[in-house]
Structure 1
Amino acid sequence: FFSDRFLWSRLPASTPPDELVSLLLPAMEDYTRAYLRLLADPPPPSPPPASELDAVLAAQLEYATYRTERDPARPMLSRLFGEEAAGRLLRESLFDLPLRLARGEQAH
């Protein structure tokens, strides 16, 4: 899953710290300025049209299911907390939409 609203990058581990700063600091500063502008003057909320809500929910459910099963952080979480606790964290806290829908709860 990729988002056109999220920047992913992978820099070589051999990149010197000063080069990392010169690459990342300007982007972080731009992001922070944009975020602060949104806080100061937020746009009015614009929910999707009712005709698109089913498609939005289906996409969210697909994403949550994907992340629950194949989240890149699962190995790290498993090492920290054990496989069972990591799976529970992913299913019940971080990506709980499938679980909530299965219980008949309203998606928010």
Structure 2
Amino acid sequence: MSKSLELEDGFKKSCADFDQNALELNHQIKATQEELQQHKKKNDGRIAELEGIQERLKNITKKLQETRAKHKNCCGLIDSSSGDEERDGNEHEDADRDKDGKVEGS
């Protein structure tokens, strides 16, 4: 009978160890879940902040486009692709040429 009692004691000890390990693992799981929730809340806050920034950027861009359009209308500016086809962008270079045809500063 002593063999049977030893097996029973071993089984009880094994069950107790298992229960203790299970409790420790459950505590770790709960702590990890809480940590995950904290990180999720922080991330959600950051996402909301970024969405707000993105919305402000859209509004600023829209205002800039409206202001640009008003400025063009106010000052009578036209699109750079129309008119003045004869210009080649060398008007400043021509003004810098001396009487020998050399460009100043060269």
Q: Give the TM-score band, short-chain normalised.
A: under 0.3
Q: TM-score, normalised by structure 1?
A: 0.25
Find the structure with the greater CA-based Rg: 2
Q: TM-score, normalised by structure 2?
A: 0.26
